[in-house]
Structure 1
Amino acid sequence: MTTTQPVPDVFSPGKIGPLTLRNRTIKAATYEGLSHRGKVTHDLVDFHVRHAAGGVGMTTVAYCAVSPDGRTDRHQILWTPEALPGLRKLTEAVHEQGAAVSAQLGHAGPVANPKANGAPALAPSRHFHKTTLSFAREASRDDLRRVVQDHARAARMAIEAGFDAVEVHLGHNYLASSFLSPKLNHRTDSHGGSLENRARLAREIMLAVREAVGDRIAIVTKLNMDDGVPGGFWLDEAIAVAQWLESDGSVDALEMTAGSSLSNPMYLFKGDAPLDAFAEVMPQPIKLGVKLLGRTMLREYPYQDGYLLDDARQIRAAVKLPMILLGGITNKVIMDRGMAEGFEFVAMARALLREPDLINRMEADPGVRSLCNHNNRCMPTNFTGARCVLVDRSSPRSQTWGTDAGYVS
């Protein structure tokens, strides 16, 4: 779809709900691996300050778990009163650079790590997770009510911490996304069966977040278009869910994504699948399993700029909500193409890990292209601090922003 409206310049201001960004570029959520015991560290602040100083309109802090049992890593940011001082320091530091900051909220569901969390992972139906070598248990109605309210509570705390927006994670077969998947959701109650039932949890979460924050901050939703798994959630159903979210009035902007962290994570990223790098950071016996069987899960897909555009334009044609184009945004040409096809914003991840100042350089010279070569060796670094392996990094600092004298170890 080519819009008949004037095509905005990607470097012009843009609105998401009540929020106006200085430009239309967003640092996409990529788990940084830089929090510690659920709190903010200096390194996490520095990470987002680099991207804010580098020119993005908004940077996204990921991943901020709404519940203790919804973490994929025991050190992930958890919405607790103890985490708030550090989160305030982070938002203040980003605002000093002139950028907005969003918090990605979610519950990992069957992707969560039950051994590290000390609590069973939740899923729509009982599910065996190959990475954690454990079963996720079927979520009860009480579990679902709790998780919905945990999202609302986290959104209220995001306002208290100074965030300008929240991005609610409905993708990658995390909890809400796993309910959307007919492959994972075998329930026969009000949250299983028809698409309307399978989408119920996602809609309940979004409505609870909207009720919690009103129009005080912007609400973005990251929604799967395709799980990349036979029998999973696919584009035709994603169109319907996007339309329901729009009619509910619970969302200010949509960011479409793809892939399954359970079964096909490389479906989102495209490019190389660095098995050796993944195996290196895994404990035994998972390390051996990755080496022997990794190709069955870490498949390689050819990379091209704007690789999610073909599917995302199907959603663009079906809704009037502002949309954020994700996937292979590396140069001004693909940015302009997205703008011309009706997308109001673009989100970048790997390209900014490689060059945090890329936006400033592109604005100064539209011919600048990202140096990212899509080797994907940045992906395993989220266990040790997300970065491009082609760029040196300084030694990490382990202190966290605390509640008393400033910092605690």
Structure 2
Amino acid sequence: MTATPDVLAPATLGPVRLRNRTVKAATFEGRTPEGQVTDALVDYHLEVARGGIGMTTVAYLAVAPEGRTHREQVVVGPATEAGLARLADAVHDAGAAVAGQVGHAGPVANGRSNGVRAIAASRMPSPLSMQLVAAATEADLTRVTGAYVATARTLVRAGFDCLELHMAHSYLISSFLAPGLNRRTDRWGGSLPNRARLARQVARAVREEVGDAVAVTAKLSLSDGFRCGVTLDEAVEVAQMLEADGAVDVLQLSGGSSLMNPMYLFRGDVPHRELAAAMGGLAGWGMRTPVGRSFLRSYPFEEAYFRDKALRVRAAVDLPLMLLGGINRLDTMELAMADGFEYVALARAVLREPGLVDRLARERAAGRSGEGACIHCNRCMPSIYDGTRCPVREDAPLPRM
């Protein structure tokens, strides 16, 4: 038997050395209004890096223009490489590693905002743009796979330590995995091996490009949270496929669908009023209707709410795993290590308190097991439209030793 790792001690993730096993999960920062790295985006990640996190993740780095959720996102390429390198250097100077969440939004993309038609596994109406999303062609899938490779190449040059391949939340790869979104009858649809073909193709192509220069992880849904979405049984099988291919170093286990059921990922209070106000216009009006309100379903918050499902994957693969979902307490992090997970991902907890990891380390040294100050109100969700932040942070004092 091996000793249970210390979540706050140095560790490796693939070829990357981390100062501890905590990772800032990818959450859209709302700080790229022109699709470029800004000082505000750098400062956002610097604050968490200075607070003790092992690695921070830059969210929603699109591989292609139609792969943005909307136009105010970074498309990785020559025009954005210098800014990304500046961000990576700043995070490294603060002692943390930096990951880039590499993805194509697929049907979650707003084609009207982007000015480019969105694509998905199958043709479908878009509630975001009120347009039809096109079914990806063979040529599209070849192009997109190449775009993942080009993006990986750019991020390696920019000094990133890790590439997180987004295979969850009904983004493009996830839309192929979900039978309810993938109605294809060709080699990309039908059986689970066919539906997983794009995920495996992208992961292998990226690994072939980067070798062991950086870590490669994949964010995978344990369950999509909607009828005919990815189920836990299928998630276990996909995890086994990815492990057999040997292209990824770690799987990050998530859940829910940005398109069909976002609260399955977040849990806790549902900020209907705040979200409607932030969205404004027709979309905001729709959010106030019974149909709009039913879109944001209510799930009570509980600590480590994906743990039970993630343990199914833990029992089925030897690949290192990262636990995500409602992790706010040091004893939860330590339980994750005892369960056999190698890393923990934090999102709202460090948005509320960027210095949480350092504080937990100080409190443990003083003989206490601390917890984060996040109250799971989810009022941070609507703030993505004008700079993601914790609205209660300035009003509520943070815990002190």
User: Residues 39-82 of structure 1: CA distance to partner in whole angstroms, max 9, x if unpaired?
Assistant: 10000000000000000000000010000000012111111211
Residue in 2 aligned with 1:250?
247
Q: What does residue range 44-83 of structure 1 map to in structure 2 within 5 Å?
A: 44-83=41-80
Q: Which of 115, 118, 134 is residue 112 of structure 2 equivalent to?
A: 115
Q: Which moved more, 1:252-261 or 1:80-89?
A: 80-89
Counterpart CA distance in 1 for 2:2 and 2:293 is 45
Instruction: Give runs of ≥4 in structure 1 deviating > 3 Å.
Output: none
Amino acid paired to 1:372: C
Q: How much does 1:227 deviate? A: 0.6
Q: Is the 8 A contact 1:102 1:163 kept in 2?
A: yes
Task: Tell me which of the two structures has the higher relative contact order, counting C-alpha pairs closer than 8 angstroms and 6 or more residues apart.
Answer: 1
Counterpart CA distance in 2 for 1:133 and 1:279 is 18
Counterpart CA distance in 1 for 2:294 and 2:120 is 23
Normalised to the residue count of structure 1, the TM-score between the two structures is 0.94
Q: Is the 8 A contact 1:40 1:87 kept in 2?
A: yes
Residue in 2 aligned with 1:405?
none
Q: How much does 1:360 deviate? A: 0.3
Q: What does residue range 360-379 of structure 1 map to in structure 2 within 5 Å?
A: 360-366=358-364, 367-379=369-381
Counterpart CA distance in 2 for 1:69 and 1:37 is 15
Q: Which of 380, 395, 403 is residue 382 of structure 2 equivalent to?
A: 380
Residue in 2 aligned with 1:341?
339
Q: Are 2:207 and 1:205 aligned?
A: no
In structure 2, runs of 5+ residues without a counterpart are: 396-401
Q: Which of 350, 369, 380 is residue 348 of structure 2 equivalent to?
A: 350
Q: What does residue range 216-235 of structure 1 map to in structure 2 within 5 Å?
A: 216-235=213-232
Residue in 2 aligned with 1:263?
260
Counterpart CA distance in 2 for 1:15 and 1:202 is 25
Counterpart CA distance in 2 for 1:285 and 1:349 is 30
Residue in 1 aligned with 2:190?
193
Counterpart CA distance in 2 for 1:50 and 1:188 is 48
Q: Which of 298, 303, 325 is residue 323 of structure 2 equivalent to?
A: 325
In structure 1, runs of 5+ residues without a counterpart are: 394-409
Counterpart CA distance in 1 for 2:311 and 2:74 is 33
Q: How much does 1:368 deviate? A: 2.1
Counterpart CA distance in 1 for 2:184 and 2:211 is 32
Q: Is the 8 A contact 1:72 1:111 kept in 2?
A: yes
Q: How much does 1:119 deviate? A: 0.9
Q: How much does 1:294 deviate? A: 2.1
The CA RMSD measured in Å over matched residues stands at 1.0
Q: Is the 8 A contact 2:70 2:111 kept in 1?
A: no
Normalised to the residue count of structure 2, the TM-score between the two structures is 0.96
User: Residues 56-115 of structure 1: CA distance to partner in whole angstroms, max 9, x if unpaired?
Assistant: 000000010000000012111111211111111100000001100000000000000101
Q: Is the 8 A contact 1:129 1:262 kept in 2?
A: no
Q: Which of 130, 133, 136 is residue 136 of structure 1 equivalent to?
A: 133
Residue in 1 aligned with 2:97?
100
Q: How much does 1:376 deviate? A: 0.3
Q: How much does 1:278 deviate? A: 0.9
Amino acid paired to 2:345: A
